[in-house]
Structures are given as structure tokens and as C-alpha cells.
Structure 1
């Protein structure tokens, strides 16, 4: 497993750590990274990462770096004018009529519904635009979901009104079709393709959240609720026999002043209990398993990050996965190994 601690990257194998590289940050950021709480406030450290081909990719300090595992070459590839980087990356390898490369959608706070792009990495390591949502369409892109069953990439967008939507792209984004839009039950970050549609979970702090099935009926696309969950689902992963979902704890509407909004400790109205929950949906019979619960810590969510659990990649060969916790009382800043075969969790 590859892990980030502050701005340092390590390889962990059999309990032993090997330092791989140190990502560049400014002088003050290098000092602040030693404080977990300050790092949370300023969103320091590695924001998002992935592996593709011979390289690792890291988002840190509003920049995207690649590190070639064979040559040990670190390269700054992209600077984010807004936000800290994408919420997730999409691997297009093996998708019919798509390039075998990485894709991401722009993700940042956007109340004005600016033009939002989907970008892909060229063979030269340059990031080029492959599709643009015109101004007034969406706030940002939550996820791009590769679908080898249906030969497409699903586009999950947010956040409000018609911007909460699910699109489907084909032929290298030359064809982008609106599937469903306009309600919070279509607002999602996590989805898993199946024959004919998607299994997905909603991501809204204002209404009750659920795991749902998107499919095409005789009269068009339909979204069916399978299970209600505790809160918005921002992170998920696929295991051999399960789809994994984690719920977040985040605030609701803004308060009367900027300071009151920043220090707000109330949970959003769509969150049932003030806790992060991990659940697993079994593929064979769609039974839902409760896996792990951790209560949100006392720090305000807007200032010190939402309560969350992030999964470390997918693991379709087994039913084990690591989950990393932020802003919770028990596991804050720690990784837990979840073994669904034995229903155990370990550090």
C-alpha cells in the first residue's frame, strides 16, 4: 500500500515502511503539516491520489504531480485555479471508444454555475479538455464512473436544482446524454455499474439519503430506493462480493454571518445521527450490512473538515479494504483494515 504522511509518501509492505518521495510544499505549509488540526483547517497534505501505468498521481497544494515509479521522476503536471483538485480520478483503460488514460472532472465551490470541464491526460503528460459543461449547467463534477459493461462513462454532477444530475458519455465524450436530473435523489458521488444501469448512493445534506438503483423502464430512466442510510455518501469502493459506502457528517445551510457559518457545529437536516457509518451492499442478494460506526468529533465541519471515511482503492479480488477516518472521535487520522469475510477491523 502507498500512503501519505504529511507531504511524504511511503510504501508499506508487511509492516515495513519505505520512504519513496517528498512532495514540495511551502515553508509555512511544511511547518503547519506537523499539526493534524491545522492541516485539517487549511486542507493541507495530499488531497487526492491515484495510480495509473508506471506513475503515481498526487494532488497537493492546489497542484497535480506525477511520480514515475521506474525513473523516480517527479513532475508538476497541472495547477488548479479553483479548489484543491478532483474528488476522484477515472481510469479509462479498457473502455471501448475511450482513450486508455486518466480523466477527471473539475470540482470546486461554484455557486455561479461556471463552465465546468472534463480533462484527460495525453501521451505527453499534458491535460487537455475533452468535454465542457457550458455556463449555467452544473456546479461541479463529483465523479466519472467507468462502465465496461455498458461501454460508457457515467458523469455524476451536483449540487442543486437541475445541476443535480446523472449523465452518460460515449465515443470519447463526443456523445454526452442527460439521463436524469433536478432532484436531490439524483445527486451522487459514488456509483457502481451493473447490466443496464447503476447502483448508487445519494449525497445531500438537506434530505434523507439512500442507496438506489438506476435503471431504464418502458417509459424512461427510473431511480428506485433500496435502503436509507445515515447521511450523504461521498466515498465508496468495490470489493469482490460487496459495494462499500461511507456516510459523512456535514453542516446544512449557512448562518447569519460568515463567522457563525464557519463555526457551525450543527449537522445538516438530511443526516440522521451525528456519526460516520460504513455499510456494505452484498452483490449477490443486495443485503445491507452495517460494518463500522464512528461518532463525529467536536470540531465544526466547515472549519475542520467533514466527518468521513475514505476507502483505499478497490479490491475486487478479495473482501478486504482500508478505510481512513477524518474528524471522528475514535479513529480520527487513522486507517482501519476491514475484513468483511470475518467481519473484523484492525489498525
Structure 2
């Protein structure tokens, strides 16, 4: 597999042949495998944020840049940066703030439904285990409101919300310990939310891959060994199929392949210093595709070392990834071409 590196570009979203990337606070798109790029929009930084964004190391320290992007049915865009949700209308090239995150620096993702409705779950330290909210928008991101609340002492925070096109609903992932680890499902946009799995580190996850007859659930735990698992909703069977060397933060799909990537984080159990990408054709058998050693900078301050994967349902044969805190590839868009 041929690998191309493009410095300074971060992949955010893939839909069929189109890739959206960020370069600082500018969003670009390409439909020709990164040969040419078209500007989508920019976000104007304050003077203080311009200082924080001055180089790659400061961007890592202050968690700068775009972290998530959604394209809505009217061709407008929703972006996620530290502390804010942004919107760029289809007749504009400017991202504007539409919502300030009340608690925590930002959610780990924003979930988009086919009708354009949007949801995110709060992700903050929550040492006191206060109630945790899920927010939704029903007007293409213009306004946001609470749509569901986890009561106090039930969870620590929400790890992610993911739309399932096969079951016409969304999976909600929560953590961090014991009964706080839950995988839930809603088929009515949070009018109700039903617990499917709970109660162990084996159901502590950050990202998943919904499939027609099963769901790929890789674990995210510093407390135990991590595994890629296959869950069969019809029978409630959960099988660990492949051990991985670190917590899995990212999942993606390209061509007919499934992809999971791990991070390097502080752990007494998972001591690997390598971020890795694993690949599978069927979700049952996995192999290591790519591996990179963490760089010299402290994980706590300069972010976990990772091979980040964009949100993707990519029908072509190109896999995109992004190096964070790893040797050689830090700050690079990685293009894996079959």
C-alpha cells in the first residue's frame, strides 16, 4: 500500500469521493485524491487565539483547530472547535459561532442524522458525577437545546453519539467505570434512550462501526487490555475477536474495509508506545496496517499520540488518517492508496 504525506492538512470528513480537510482554521475540500483543493470557509481567530495557533506545538498544547465537521442537507456546514460549535451557510465562506459549549472544552463528536438534525453529548471531567446532558439541534445547527439528561451519579460523561443507517437510530457511548460504562440506543431522536449494554470496561468505547447484522465495538480503557469486539444486537452476543495494544479512539470505513486506530495514553496495563491502525474485511479477522512510535512530548500537555481517522463512509480505495504526537507523521495527512 502506497503512503503519501501532506504536511499541515487534517482530514475531517469523507463522503464517497469527497474529502474535507482543515488547514488551521480554514476548511478545504477535494474530490480528486488531494491533487487540488477548493476553499469551503474560514473561522476568524481572536488575537489571543492567533498567538496560540502560532506553530504546531502551540496548537497541540492549546487544542487548536477543527475537531469535527458535518455537511448538512442544504449544503451548509457545522464545525467543532474548542469551546464552540460553528456554522458556515451554503451561500457564505465564513464560519460563525452558533453555540458555546457550557462544560468541558468540547464534545468528542457531533452526530448528524440524514434529516439534518444534530446531537452531541457533554464531555467534561465531572469528578462529582453531576447530571450530564445531550444537546440537539433541529434547525440545521442554528439553535441548540437539551434533549436528554443522564441523572447524577449515573455516568461520568458521553464518549460519542453515532448514527446507525441500518437500524435508523443512534448509539450513545458513555464512561468511565463500572455501571457508568454503557452503550445505549435511540430510535426516536432522544424521546427515549434504551440501555443495551452496561457495567464493564468491555463496553467502554469511544467509537463504533454499525453494520447490517452487527456492530464493531473496540474498547477504550486504560484499566484493562483492549479488544476489538463484534456485537450482535439480535442475540445480544458480544465477542472479543482481536486484542489491540492501546485504547481505540477512532473507527472508519473505506472501500470494503473496516478500520480501527489506537492511541498512546497513560496506562499501567497498556504500555505500548505505538499508535496503530488495524484493518479488516469482515470485522472478525483483523491485522495491523500501520504503526508509529510516539514523539518526545508529554502526553498530558501535548495530547495523546494518535493516528486519527476522519468520519467516513468512503466508497473508493483510499484511506485517510492524521498523525498526532507521533514520529515523522505529526501534523500530516496520511493517504493510504491501494
Q: State the TM bucket, normalised to the shorter chain.
A: 0.7 to 0.9
Distance 1:238 1:16 in 2: 23
Structure 1 window deviating more from structure 2 (3-12 vs 28-37): it is: 3-12
Q: Which residue does the alignment assign to 1:139?
A: 156
Distance 1:233 1:281 in 2: 15
Q: Which residue does the alignment assign to 2:78?
A: 57
Provide, for residues 155-194 of structure 1, a one-character-per-residue CA deviation record: whole Å limited to 9, x for no partner. 1111112111111112222221111212111100121223
SS, match of residue 11 in structure 1 = strand
Q: Which residue does the alignment assign to 1:282?
A: 281
Q: Which residue does the alignment assign to 1:88?
A: 109
Distance 1:212 1:187, change over 3 A: same
The answer to whether 1:240 aligns with 2:258 is no
CA drift of 1:201 comes to 0.2
Provide, for residues 35-59 of structure 1, a one-character-per-residue CA deviation record: whole Å limited to 9, x for no partner. 1111111112223322222122222
Q: Which residue does the alignment assign to 1:79?
A: 100
Instruction: Tell me if structure 1 keeps the 8 A contact 2:257–2:281.
Output: yes
Distance 1:193 1:10 in 2: 28
What stretches of structure 1 of length at least 5 have no aligned partner?
Answer: 94-98, 252-267, 343-347
Distance 2:30 2:55 in 1: 23
SS, match of residue 155 in structure 1 = strand
Q: Which residue does the alignment assign to 1:300?
A: 298
Instruction: Tell me if structure 2 keeps the 8 A contact 1:294–1:328.
Output: yes
Q: Which residue does the alignment assign to 1:264?
A: none
Distance 1:192 1:206 in 2: 23
Q: Which residue does the alignment assign to 1:47?
A: 67
If the length of structure 1 is used for normalisation, what is the TM-score? 0.85
SS, match of residue 313 in structure 2 = coil
Instruction: Tell me if structure 2 keeps the 8 A contact 1:312–1:323.
Output: yes
CA drift of 1:326 comes to 0.4
Distance 2:42 2:78 in 1: 13
Q: Which residue does the alignment assign to 1:258?
A: none
1:230 to 237, 240, 245: 245
The answer to whether 1:170 aligns with 2:187 is yes
Structure with more relative contact order (C-alpha pairs < 8 Å, separation 6 or more): 2
Distance 1:245 1:187 in 2: 15
Q: Which residue does the alignment assign to 2:264?
A: 249
Aligned length: 316
Provide, for residues 208-262 of structure 1, a one-character-per-residue CA deviation record: whole Å limited to 9, x for no partner. 10000123576xx3321010011100111122312111000011xxxxxxxxxxx
CA drift of 1:102 comes to 1.8
The answer to whether 1:102 aligns with 2:118 is yes
The answer to whether 1:27 aligns with 2:47 is yes
Q: CA RMSD in A?
A: 2.0
Distance 1:276 1:30, change over 3 A: same
Instruction: Tell me if structure 1 keeps the 8 A contact 2:216–2:229.
Output: yes
Distance 1:170 1:66 in 2: 26
SS, match of residue 255 in structure 2 = coil
Distance 2:289 2:84 in 1: 35
Provide, for residues 48-76 of structure 1, a one-character-per-residue CA deviation record: whole Å limited to 9, x for no partner. 32222212222224111100133435331
Distance 1:329 1:204, change over 3 A: same
Instruction: Tell me if structure 2 keeps the 8 A contact 1:164–1:182.
Output: yes
